[in-house]
Amino acid sequence: MCVAVPMKLISAVDGLGVVEISGVKRNVGLQLVPEAKVGDYLIVHAGYAIQILDEKEAEETLALFKEMEGLG
């Protein structure tokens, strides 16, 4: 099973970006979403941003993840 996580792009230089979620930062490749801008939410999987996500949808998804944390 694969899980892709929405993360916020906080910096981008030459096709590489830094994304953040809950204070955790990761380096990602932006080759599949070259139009991504700092501040965009991105779907990240296996070290690559694979899709730009609408902010509202990203926040809804992150709220669901937070809700699931309380179930375990």
CATH number reported for the structural domain that contains residue 48 in this entry: 2.30.30.140
Largest interatomic CA distance in the chain: 40
Q: How many domains does the chain have?
A: 1
Residue 33 CB neighbours (<10 A): 20
Of 60, 44, 72, the closest CA to residue 30 belongs to: 44
Q: What range defines the domain where residue 30 resides?
A: 5-69
Q: How confident is the model at residue 2 (pLDDT cuts 50, 70, 90)?
A: low
Model pTM?
Answer: 0.84
Tell me the average pLDDT across 33-61: 94
Write out the two tokens for 13: 């230089």
Per-residue pLDDT tens over the stretch 17-44: 999 998 999 999 999 999 999 999 999 9
